[in-house]
Structure 1
């Protein structure tokens, strides 16, 4: 079966857009082929700085013929109905329709529409231009011919290769044009090492032709070359590469033929924190830093990636990069030294002029809230209240430092360095850095109690504040990262084994807060997602939340975990079955009589040995379960419930609930209700599926 080869050749595509653009091209074209009735065996997409490429292998040569029957009005229907039917079916007269009979509805017209299949070439010739014109670039501009129909592309589009055919034959060029760019079967290689155009037949010779002209088509292959060559170069110098996945992805998108080189900078710059050096070199020059294998400290060398095979083995390129790196590190050193002289507390007044949010005040006002909330949380998390307040006071001071102004991603970290330099307590310095964390599912979680108190205060102030002004996440939009903040609170509480009533904390954060229920619902959703990611069953989460007024994250998590273990045991499975039999009978009787059976079981009306045993077992289990829950020992609470299994089974088998004696019947229904209420000491069993 034939293969499709498509290349869209342009000026440089931003590195951050390349991988997604390749994926989008693959998705749009293959989906379009399938929608048109074609099938294919496989598809691969590639991106370099100057091209997007797609190869679709094993494509069918044409779409299938389609026979469609369209039911029309009954025979003898009004003229308007017949005219509408003819128009919709594409028939010129009613004579072209057939008549079918229905025993109930009588005779009616049917239009048989035969749609012949289309050649793949014709489908592709229409699909590709449409895809190009509607391509979802994050940012694009109009290029070429001016006017409303001008092509929008990320950079000027120069040529389009579009061939289709089988290996044994020369492929056909599928001809179409986009904004005056006519398809062909020629392309070019590297901007400097392979500018001459060459003919393209199929993907294998296309990829080989590019490589011969110093273009490596596969982004992941370019990344592997960069990483391996950088490690080898570092090892030869007795150094180790500081790996950076994000930078590697970006640099892989900046070059078509990676050439890895090494440069150096003055040792005096090593007096700055490693993170400052790495950030400055990475952000300004897209270079990797190296560290000494023995000490683990940064070395005064860096790795750069060129897109040129230079005649002087890269000496001029290295010298140019060293010059720029030296200038950038000089700037960073000036920022570092200036910030150290100024100190953190001296800068706090500048937060007066930094608006956090127009409805929530300045950063100074936010810091005041953090001080109060951190102090209140400190005893609950085992932290020193004075240290928590001090950390909260300085937590945002580095936002107005020269270094963080230049490199915002260093916020918090620079605050820690500056705090240590001015002899702040180590736990205070750590809290300044860690109060932003965790910022993602794999990010570090504050474990120091002072850091935990400030991190919780920061996130809870954020959540209660935006809830108070009705700025909540909607659908996929979460501009203030409130979902991340809620998940951060959950993870801090779980990992540090912290018990906390969120309803109480909401009121502490904002005494006039009235949306506690709604915000707790948001936390419940986040906690459900978090627990599901850890393998918890959704119905068990629902069973715990079904108890109502659940606002202690740690206790909810422990209940769900213990409930899952219990229900995976034989006792748990059988008790759940007995519970369902009991509640089904109870619900049916409550619906029939309109009454509830909430009263106490009366010993005088206990008749059968099995119900006497069950009544005693319920009293024992309920007391033990309540006591265990109060001690936060949910395993023991589940064990208490497990003791109900045998007496519940015996009762359900041997005892007839709807006894003829009214007082006995009512007493037995009350006993069924007590089974239900006893299980609710740990969860709402009615929410459990399976």
Structure 2
């Protein structure tokens, strides 16, 4: 067993994709090695802006030898009565390259057959690894590959060198147009030379000690975090480290050195979000806040060199950031001179979607729908309507045109400057929440109303023009918008009916090309989005299907039922009762008209088992009515679990389809009443596993 190293040297790789590329490369190399039947003890990834590498420790030098068993024709047809080989035996011997007299017979568990056993020698790892590496490179998640020079070779960035070693030996092959070697390269400035690798185990130390490179992505990321946090502490504040920015900076440097710079106090009069956006997006700086969480006039940058004069590096960064912050300050002061309400006129020339009108048209629809939602959830309809009307006005401000992440945030500041109610301003900011899975929700009910109205207007409108999401295409992010609607309603415990909201949104759109059946189409799409969330929570699909079968349209109610059914599904009585419900469903489904079955007539109850079940069903109906009314579904289903034994006894002792028509109908009525109790919550017959 020997160590294996592969390193792909390149021009600077895209920093935001570096971690994904490294993970994929490592996973694919590991998968290829395992598929080849090679064993190893450990695999370690390395990734810097100029290289992707993997070191595999204690890798088998060759695969194990394998015994090959080839079964031939049955002995009965391989030889005639005199024991002479038939054509079938001759063909089998020829196929396997053996003499007729060397044929042997074994039983394969069913019959005696001709068999040829041979041993396939193990394959050398050195012969298998080049193809494994090439396959791993081919499978990298690269959106657009590059070609360089006159070569037809393609990769994410032009390749510069390739290292492939097994122990101290180079595996001789060609990858990405380069002959493999044991030569790597150090830091572009601190060690701009080649380095010879003695063996894979020496790779990381060689780069660290001689190459002035931290080759491990994880180690480099940790170093950057620690350095940035330490710089923040020196300032008496706290450095704010966003994971996405940290990963991008980790993908930009090979030898991180954190340095602190400053900017003028006057810039703190500009919205902090704009300053932070400018520092992080354009310059990749980390910002610092004081103990109260307020932005401090400092930034932390991560250099890729150890400078002999750090002050010059800091000064250069300060000179670069100053004009950007000046732009933000200028945009802010200029924008405040024009009221948000005045900007509405400009929205009339900004198209939302060709068939759905302008952003102004959308804002007017959001205004009406938000006010209606606010009234339904006990919020201030006037505030919600006003926030809905102004929610898109900042899109035509200079601030948002320069810093697109400021949409909504800029609107909040401008609304406050205009003298709008604080609740209106906050709702304008919160309209885009949640932006992603796990993101915060709008803080106020007014914000919830606007956020819901905005998303529902988009979802209904895009479906209404016949452009629903298809496969991986979702240009208007309707899936994300739908999940946002569901999260707001469920987590904020809003008693809203999606069918009603979708219908209102459709009416506000007016005539839509795909209006027929639009409410049902959109409702089914939105409710179906629940499924993915429940799957992530490890709730079985059949639990959701049991609730979905009721055709409900209130997300909060659906959520309560799903959680109740999921809890019921864990009870020992669940499967028996689900099976009984399925049996009842099948019996009732055979009737021509189930509605003709009346109520239970106690005088027609004959057997002890049906009397006991009827008594219990009636008692449960009275007991559970208030629980159903209060949506206490979990308690209701727990109470229904008591019916398992009487239901089992009923089916064992009672003939449902009796010859006596009156008895039969009365027993069917009892089963219908039993099933009805469960159907108050869900169709639990769907909990029975499909065969």
Structure-2-length-normalised TM-score: 0.87
CA distance in 2, matches of 1:101, 1:568: 51
Instruction: Provide the residue aligned with 1:688 in structure 2.
Output: 687
The structure 2 residue matched to 1:124, chosen from 125, 129, 134, is 129
Q: Deviations over 1:338-366 (max 9, x none)?
A: 11112212222222232222333321222
Give 1:34 deviation, angstroms. Answer: 2.9
The structure 1 residue matched to 2:147, chosen from 111, 136, 142, is 142
Give 1:582 deviation, angstroms. Answer: 7.0
CA contact (8 A) 1:230 1:241 kept: yes
Instruction: Provide the residue aligned with 1:232 in structure 2.
Output: 230
Give 1:683 deviation, angstroms. Answer: 1.7
Stretch deviating more after TM superposition (216-225 or 595-604): 595-604
CA distance in 1, matches of 2:681, 2:63: 60
Stretch deviating more after TM superposition (152-161 or 272-281): 152-161
Q: Deviations over 1:427-451 (max 9, x none)?
A: 1111111111112221111241211
Query: Aligned pair 1:519/2:544, yes or no?
Result: no
Query: Aligned pair 1:360/2:356, yes or no?
Result: yes
CA contact (8 A) 1:540 1:564 kept: yes
CA distance in 2, matches of 1:496, 1:437: 13
Summarize the Cα distance change of 1:498–1:164 in structure 2 as closer, same or farther, 3 Å threshold. Answer: same
Summarize the Cα distance change of 1:579–1:666 in structure 2 as closer, same or farther, 3 Å threshold. Answer: farther
Q: Deviations over 1:405-460 (max 9, x none)?
A: 11111211111111111111111111111111112221111241211111111111
Q: Deviations over 1:272-322 (max 9, x none)?
A: 1111111111112111111223x432111111111111112x111111100
Summarize the Cα distance change of 1:231–1:110 in structure 2 as closer, same or farther, 3 Å threshold. Answer: same
SS in structure 2 at match of 1:341: coil
SS in structure 1 at match of 2:299: strand
Query: Aligned pair 1:189/2:190, yes or no?
Result: no
SS in structure 1 at match of 2:214: coil
CA distance in 2, matches of 1:310, 1:188: 20
CA contact (8 A) 2:106 2:115 kept: no
CA contact (8 A) 1:160 1:181 kept: yes
CA contact (8 A) 1:7 1:52 kept: yes
Instruction: Provide the residue aligned with 2:82 in structure 1.
Output: none
Instruction: Provide the residue aligned with 1:679 in structure 2.
Output: 678
Instruction: Provide the residue aligned with 2:159 in structure 1.
Output: 157
Instruction: Provide the residue aligned with 1:3 in structure 2.
Output: 3
Q: Deviations over 1:233-291 (max 9, x none)?
A: 22223222122221111111111111111111111101111111111111121111112
SS in structure 2 at match of 1:270: helix
CA distance in 1, matches of 2:684, 2:134: 58
Summarize the Cα distance change of 1:582–1:342 in structure 2 as closer, same or farther, 3 Å threshold. Answer: closer
Instruction: Provide the residue aligned with 2:367 in structure 1.
Output: 371
SS in structure 1 at match of 2:43: strand
Give 1:174 deviation, angstroms. Answer: 0.8
CA contact (8 A) 2:575 2:688 kept: no
CA contact (8 A) 2:40 2:59 kept: yes
Stretch deviating more after TM superposition (281-290 or 117-126): 117-126
SS in structure 2 at match of 1:46: strand
Matches within 5 A, 1:73-88: none
Instruction: Provide the residue aligned with 2:554 in structure 1.
Output: 552
Give 1:130 deviation, angstroms. Answer: 5.3
Give 1:640 deviation, angstroms. Answer: 6.1
Instruction: Provide the residue aligned with 2:467 in structure 1.
Output: 471
SS in structure 2 at match of 1:296: coil
Give 1:15 deviation, angstroms. Answer: 0.9
CA distance in 2, matches of 1:387, 1:641: 46
Q: Which runs of 4+ in 1 moved over 6 A?
A: 71-76, 89-103, 105-114
CA distance in 1, matches of 2:599, 2:404: 65
SS in structure 2 at match of 1:58: strand
Instruction: Provide the residue aligned with 1:396 in structure 2.
Output: 392
RMSD of aligned C-alpha atoms?
Answer: 3.5
Stretch deviating more after TM superposition (64-73 or 184-193): 64-73
CA contact (8 A) 1:97 1:109 kept: no
CA distance in 1, matches of 2:681, 2:456: 28
CA distance in 1, matches of 2:139, 2:650: 69
The structure 2 residue matched to 1:270, chosen from 247, 268, 273, is 268
Matches within 5 A, 1:210-249: 210-212=207-209, 213-249=211-247
CA distance in 2, matches of 1:391, 1:336: 20
SS in structure 2 at match of 1:458: helix
Summarize the Cα distance change of 1:342–1:595 in structure 2 as closer, same or farther, 3 Å threshold. Answer: closer
Q: Deviations over 1:41-79 (max 9, x none)?
A: 221111111111111122211123445456789989xxx
CA distance in 1, matches of 2:99, 2:111: 17
Give 1:563 deviation, angstroms. Answer: 3.5
Structure-1-length-normalised TM-score: 0.87
Instruction: Provide the residue aligned with 2:563 in structure 1.
Output: 561
Give 1:659 deviation, angstroms. Answer: 5.9
CA contact (8 A) 1:144 1:151 kept: no
Instruction: Provide the residue aligned with 2:16 in structure 1.
Output: 16
Q: Deviations over 1:171-213 (max 9, x none)?
A: 1111122465221112221111112322212233221111113
Give 1:381 deviation, angstroms. Answer: 1.8
SS in structure 2 at match of 1:303: strand
CA distance in 2, matches of 1:537, 1:229: 45
Summarize the Cα distance change of 1:133–1:648 in structure 2 as closer, same or farther, 3 Å threshold. Answer: closer
Give 1:661 deviation, angstroms. Answer: 5.1
Stretch deviating more after TM superposition (12-21 or 656-665): 656-665
CA distance in 1, matches of 2:274, 2:180: 49
Instruction: Provide the residue aligned with 1:538 in structure 2.
Output: 541
